[in-house]
Structure formats: structure tokens, C-alpha cells
Amino acid sequence: MTEYSRGAKGSFVSTGAQKPVYLPFVPNLVKLLNYTASATPAQSGIPRAYWDANMGQGFSIVDLYNATPALITDSVDVNGISTFSAGLSLQYGATKQIIGATKADPIVFNVTAHGYSVGDIVIFEGLYQSATTGMPQISGMPFVITAVDDANNFSINWNGNQSNYTALSGSPTGAFVKKVLYPFLYVPGVSFIEAITTGTTTTIVTTAPHNMVVGQEVAFRITNPWGTYQLNSLPNVALPGSPIYGYIVSVTNSTTVVVNINSTGYTAYNSNQPVASLAGMQLPQMLAVGDVNTGGALITAGSDLYPSPLVNGVRTINGPAINGAFINNTRQGFIVGAGTAVGDAGSVLVGAASDVIYWEAYFIEYTSPY
């Protein structure tokens, strides 16, 4: 009865914050051993934890050191151990009302108890202050959060200090934001464009991490109102019907790349779009084409793309990469939360920063009904 049961084990060094563990399956049983807390017993230390799917998401049974310190048992009822599985389409967190947004560069959004962190990816909807004003120009684009001012305010990399943008205030009807839970299901994927600098090479700034590498082949989808439409892959004047592509020649940071296309004399990029012209307008995009983003590396045994690709230093759950523009970056596994034991607010399930934690995870195919 265990033909399809699976198991895995490993370790990590805690940062004190919740820790995702990526697996090729979704476990229904997880065990933790905090080596550091076990080796040096101290009050509030959690040396061992246990989670079973029947407990529900976010729970855990733990061993805990009291003030003596003697070992007792307790439970974590919030932010314990939970599982996750990214699907074939995007999944989102709770929809949150936008209270206001500044007409500034960058835009700062006011959302009560947003719960976001720097690096989270969010999508906006609505953003109308009135029927003809507001910031709907950026609705539908994924944005990386670049700064968190406090529990109620965060920033994104977009210039809202332009003539066609109006500050939001008074919790406008229909103005919402939600977090993209697993934003990079396929990489490098499609990126939305925040800014373009023309010249003998072309610099592209994206609204969220592009996941590109040097050598990646790219194409552009930019309608005329956004400017720099000359970057579009079609038409090819020399070879009608044959697309024109560019190559990434350098990666400045996670949201900026330089492409080898000489754009001298091209129309300037224009993110200052009038609200009245947005209906039906396509958002400006850069997308990967051609082979998988290897940066020129061959896909062979022993390479980074064999047996499975690395994305941001983490292996995907797939087999060897195949030639094609996108890597399937679906994620699944479990999360060790930073919840505290019911009887000890000073305890932390995931441990303190630098704690060494060993884990075991299982998917048990057969469960006795008795």
C-alpha cells in the first residue's frame, strides 16, 4: 500500500523568518529537528516539531523548553507548518482596498495592514479616482514592491508624477491590490515595461523581475501610443514575415537589462498615457523567445539545466529542460512558519537566526481508516 508514498529530507539555516522548502511533491507529514535548540537548551527553544495534514494548515505540535529549562509539549496554532502548490495559472492573495496613492515617483500606496514585504509581486485593479482620472494606466501589470515604509504604505517602481496621473484618496470604489502568490510559474516569461532608454544599445526597465540572463533572445510588443514601437519584432523590412529579435548583452539588476538593438532615433518611450485612451490598449511587454535562457550554456548532463533548471538558485520540480523560451517553474512543498507556541510567546517555530534545522517530509499514500 505504499507504492506511491514519497519521502525527502534536508536541512537549512534559519533566518528567523518563515522558510519555504521546495519538494517534488506536497507532503502530508512533516518533522523538524532544531539541532541548535536541542544542543543548547534554553527557555522558549523549540527543539522538535511535528505536523500532520489532518491537523489543518498552519498548525504544529512541538516540544518546548520552559524556564527550568525542562522539556514540555505545546502547540503552534497560527503560522505553523503549511503546504503549498503553485498551479498552472496564477494564484492570488486576498484582495485589499487601496486607501490612497501619491502622485509621485515612485508611487506610494496606502493600504491598511497590507502585510507585504520588499520583493513581493502585486497586481492592481481599478485605480480610478473618478470616471476620467486616477492611475488606471498601471492596472493589470505585475509590480515588485521596492520599499515598505510601514504597515500601511509601500512603493512600486513607476513614475506617477506625470500630467495624466491623479493621486488617489478616500478609498476609491473598485481600487484594489492583491499579491501574486507564485509569480514566476514560467521563466523568464513575459515582462511589462516601466521605462526604455534608447541609444546604440537599448536599456529596458521592467515592473517586476525579468529573470533574464546574458544571451537571452527577446522580442517586444509595444503599441504606438507607448512609443519606441520600432522595437517590435515585426515587420522585418528586409525579410517580410521574419521576426526581428534582440539579445540581452548585460543584466544591470533584477528589473533592468541592456539589449543589443541600436535604437538611436527611435520614438521616446511614453508612460504618461491619458486615462481616456486606455480602453483596449495593449500593455507594453518584453518576452523571451528562442531557446531556454541558458545564457549560451549547453543543456548537458552535469550542467545547471540538467537534471532540472535552477531559478533564483532553487531547482524546479521538472525534469531536464527542453529547448524553448520558457522554463516551467511550478513550485510545491511546505512552509515552516514563524508562529509561536500557545503557552510561550517568546518561542519561534522556525527558530532564531542561524539555528540549524533538519527536516523530514513525507507523502504517505495509504492512511488507515481505523
The reported pLDDT for the residue numbered 318 is 64
> From the CB of residue 160, how many other CB atoms can be counted at a distance below 10 Å?
24
Q: How far apart are CA 20 and CA 141, in angstroms?
A: 26
The reported pLDDT for the residue numbered 326 is 76
Half-sphere exposure of 15 (CA within 13 A, CB side): 4
Q: How far apart are CA 220 and CA 287, in angstroms?
A: 6
| DSSP-derived 3-state class of residue 95 | coil
Question: Cell triple for residue 155?
Answer: 512603493
Q: How far is CA 181 from CA 49, 119, 142, 146, 184, in A?
A: 26, 12, 12, 17, 9
Whole-model pTM: value is: 0.76
Contact between 202 and 230 under an 8 Å Cβ cutoff? The reply is: no
Pairing of strands 314-315, 310-311: antiparallel
Contact between 354 and 39 under an 8 Å Cβ cutoff? The reply is: no
Domains and CATH numbers, the chain: 6-86+333-363 (no CATH), 96-179 (2.40.30.20), 186-289 (2.40.30.180)
Alpha helices per DSSP H over the chain: 35-39
Residue 260, judged by CB atoms within 10 A of its CB (0-12, 13-18, 19+), counts as middle
Q: How far apart are CA 245 and CA 218, in angstroms?
A: 6
Spell out, as residue ranges, where the chain has pLDDT lower than 50. Answer: 1-2
The reported pLDDT for the residue numbered 1 is 41
